[in-house]
Every structure is written in C-alpha cells, then in structure tokens.
Chains A and B, each alone.
Chain A
Amino acid sequence: MFVIDPHMHTCLSPCAVLDMHPAGLVDAAIQAGLDAIAVCDHNSAENVAAVERAGRTAGMAVIAGMEITSEEEAHILALLPSVEAALELQSKIYRSLPGRNDERSFGPQVIANEHAEVLGFDEHLLSGATTLSVDRVVAAIHDVQGLAVASHVDRERFGIIGQLGMIPQGLALDALEISFRTNFPDGRAAFAPKGEFPIVCSSDAHEPKEVGKAVTFLLLAEPTLDELRRAFADKDGRAILGGGRPMEDLALHILDLAQNSIEAGATAIEIDLLEYPSEDRLIVEVRDNGRGMDPRNLARATDPFYTTRTTRKVGMGLSLLSEAARAAGGKVEIDSKPGFGSCVRAIFQYHHIDRAPVGDMETTLMVLLVSHPDLDIRFKHCVESEAFELNAHVLRAAGANPAAPDGLAALRKAIRKGEASLGRPGVSPRLHS
C-alpha cells in the first residue's frame, strides 16, 4: 500500500515559494510520511529531473508530471512515465505557450538543482494558458504514454467543470483530482457518482507545509506510472483504496491510531465511531491487544515531539488528535498498561464549529483490511440509533477477501453499503471559488 500525493509544485511555478526547491520538497514529503509524490509545475518540467535525483538520494519515489493549462483555462495534470517523456511533452507545450514571464507581476520561475542551488530562471509565461484545447492537451499527454487527470475539479477557477460547465463528453480523462477543499466521499458522490472516473486526492502544494495535506492511498506493487495506470483501471489487483486529509479527517486519525496499534504488535483492533448529533457528541475509540504503554510513555504519548516509531518521521498522530479534540471542546483519554493493550478515546462536541470532518471510513477500512489480511478488525459506526458493524473475519469468510478474485470489489461494496445504510444525505456538486 502506498500513500501518494500526486500533485505539487516546485519553485519553478511562479506561485510557489522558493523553499519548494527540489531537495526541500522531497524533505517535506518525507516529513509528511509519504511513499511517493508527483511533481507537476505549470506548463513546464524543468525541475522534474532534479526532484527525481533528490528523491533517489533521500529514498522518495518521484513520478514525473506537469500541470498544463488548456486554452479554456482548465488545468490538466499529466502524470508521466519518465523525465524524458516530461521533456518531450514540455517541448510541445512550449511551442503552444505564448508570452514571457514578468517576475514582478507573477513571481520568479526558478530552475534549481537537487543541492538547493539556483541554475536560472525560466522565461516562458508559465502562468499563462496554452493555445491547446482540453482535447488536444489530453491527446498530447497520451502521445507520451502519460495519464491525463483533470486538476481540482472541485474548484470553479481553473477546474474543468468550472471553466467548461461540465466534463466534455468523450474526453479521454484517466482520472479526476479533488483538492483538500472537498471531503473524499463527497467528491466521489458529486463528480463520479456512478464510478465514471477514478478519483484521486492531492495537496496541490505550493509550500512545504502543504505537502501531504491531502493524499491518495493506492494498492500497487511499486510506485510507478505503469502501476498507477493499472490502479486507475482497477485491474490486476491494483486499486485506488481511497483518499483524504491526514491532518484533518477523523477517519484518517483513526487509521493512524490503528497503525500505531499494529506497530505495537496488536493482532486484534476494535474501532468505534459514534456520532450522536442530538447529544452534541462524537466519540472515536480504538482498542487493541498490543504491547501497551508504561506510565512514562503514556504521559508523553500526546507530546508532539515524542514517538516510538523509527521507520518514519511522522508519529505525531496522537498529539494531533488531542489537539483536534481540544479544538472541538473535547479531549483524548488513553488507557494502557504494558501487556494489556491500549485504549484511545477521543471525544468531540459534534456541532462545534472547529470539529474536524469525519472523512471517509471506507478509505480507512480498505487500507487496514487490504494491508493487514490477518488482522482481526471489528468496526462499529453509529449515527444516532443507526449502526453499521463490520467484522473482518466474517467479511473474509464471505469472500470479501483482497486475496480472492474480485475480493477487493466485494470488500468495497460491503463497506460502502454499510456506510450508506447510516442514511447520510446525498451531495450535489459544489465548486469552491
């Protein structure tokens, strides 16, 4: 399973900060706990090779890309098989990109190497539009064996639906991207209710602290374009498991808690998500049979600078959850003893204006069930008196097993049906300005 942020800009994009030089961007991606990134500057790929080199040094997979502005001012992401393909596409884009940049108006377009050194300034008007229609942009991307993804379809300006009213019939897009502004399940319901297109979620970061703000979870053998292509097509056992905002969505906080449990050696995890709007209460509880924590570690568990993790520089999960609960008039309680597992309970005021959105439990469950095929997971989601309960063993026995043919689809269907039974209202497309 790979956590990918498939859309971010380097300092080459006039709207991005200088700190987004290739090495700085890769460092931010590592800090955010990502497995792979795609680098997509506006109408140019001058910095892609340097980001790839920085990634190779630091152990971060980098997918080449570009964000192309069509003649209609719709942004289309190109996810590309190689640096060479990116440069080939770039020469075609440059031939169709009129104007010269004015740094004072739009900002500098810095070409940098992987050692944070400035090599020069690009003079094309990268913030401008090409003279290529969306259809020709998509064709140009496919000509170099890339994937064409409509950028931030939830945005009025520069999103294809905002610019063109609807997705043009017959346009051969490989996926739609939603921004951090939209809750993942809402995006799916609004823009691809019948699964017309796969949906990915990205940060569209222009500065380091935004990297990984929204991510996509993918089931791949390795983070390459060919694997992405198969995941978008939902074939050969590759799939998009979901997406969301790791720092914000409660569903992804729950995923983080469950992953903590797994790292603490848990073989069984029980997750409760209890929503009681009428009582103004929302409770998240994760119980496990892992190693548990001694009192000293327990006291430090919500300290943002403390982690027992050694694999990644993240692990701020509990402190972030604690912060999120406090911001919503609630708190986090941890009950744990060495040898007796842990129980983390977060309580929120349901109607508090700062209460984080629930996000997408389908994503959380898919990631957990697919990544840990032997884990005993029990999940209970209540909205008032309605309840959806899931038992991983029962599901697997019934054929919703990622190892079985069509097992992924069966799993997704079972989760989606259960979540839908909680009777949330449908969502109509909403464009953010």
Chain B
Amino acid sequence: MTVAEATEKIQGTVVAGAASAAMREVRGGYASDLLSDTMGNSRDGDLWVTMQKHVNIVAVAHLKGLAGIVVVNGRQPEEATVARAEEEQIPIISTGLPAFDVVGILYSQGVRGRRQA
C-alpha cells in the first residue's frame, strides 16, 4: 500500500509531499507523540501517527526514513512544517480521525508495528 492509498483509507488529506505520497510504500507503522521516542523506535518505511505538528516532525521523519506522517484529530500542521515537508518531500497527511481509529484502520489493512526481520 502506498502512502496515497493509506490516506484514502483514513479519510485524510495530503497537505505536503503529494508527489512522494503517490510513490512511497508503507512498510509498517509507528504511533507516538514523543519525538525522542519516535527517533529511538520507529523504522525505515513506517507511517508515523502523531498529534504533534511542530516542524521537528519533518526532521525526525527525514532522519528515520519514514514513509510519511499522519497528523490526527483534524490538527493542521504549522506553515513552517508544511514548507519544510515540501522541501524534503516528506508526505504529511492530516485527518479528522483520532489516533485510535487511524491505527485501527491501518492495522486492518495489514500495516504492522512489528515487522519480521
């Protein structure tokens, strides 16, 4: 499943990095609002579900090679965040759904937090 396909499932809108959203494959998922935790524990290709919308989320996604970022609860990322994500081509999806529902939907589509080595 690509990031763009996942966006549809979770009733989201791509607010940045549309071109790479169409191409990037979601290989797993991670959910956390502590960015230090995401830096420590997420993996390459994860779609990251969070309520944070500060520009640092782009830096973390870039650093960890994440597939994209889902910002939940209808929160709109700050301008600086969107601009930086466009620059780095990191997809950001905004959705009105809460994190619980987003994770539930992605899980039902086969996205897992744990991947086999």
Contacts and interface: CB of A to CB of B under 8 A. Distances in A.
Contacts of A431: 36
Contacts of A161: 36
Interface in A88-111: none
A165 B78 contact: no
A72 B78 contact: no
A163 interface: yes
B56 A166 contact: yes
Interface band, chain B: 10 to 19
Contact of A168 (B33, B38, B56): B56
B36 A72 contact: no
A260 interface: no
A165 B35 contact: yes
A72 B38 CA distance: 14
B52 interface: yes
A99 B81 CA distance: 27
B87 to A, nearest CB: 13
Interface in A170-206: none
A165 B36 contact: yes
A344 B3 CA distance: 68
A162 interface: yes
B60 to A, nearest CB: 5
A157 interface: yes
Contacts of B59: 165-166
A145 interface: no
Contacts of B55: 168
B17 to A, nearest CB: 19
Contact of B54 (A156, A157, A168): A168
Interface residues of A, number: 15
A328 B56 CA distance: 44
A133 B78 CA distance: 9
A150 B16 CA distance: 30
B3 to A, nearest CB: 21
Interface string B46-76: 0000001011100110000000000000000
Interface in A140-168: 156-157, 161-166, 168
Top 7 A-B residue pairs of the complex, sorted by shortest distance between their CB atoms? A165-B35, A164-B56, A162-B36, A165-B60, A165-B39, A164-B35, A72-B54
Interface of B: 33-39, 52, 54-56, 59-60, 78
23 contacts: A72-B54, A133-B54, A133-B78, A134-B54, A156-B37, A157-B34, A162-B34, A162-B35, A162-B36, A162-B37, A163-B36, A163-B52, A164-B35, A164-B36, A164-B54, A164-B56, A165-B35, A165-B39, A165-B56, A165-B59, A165-B60, A168-B55, A168-B56
Interface of A: 71-73, 133-134, 156-157, 161-166, 168, 431
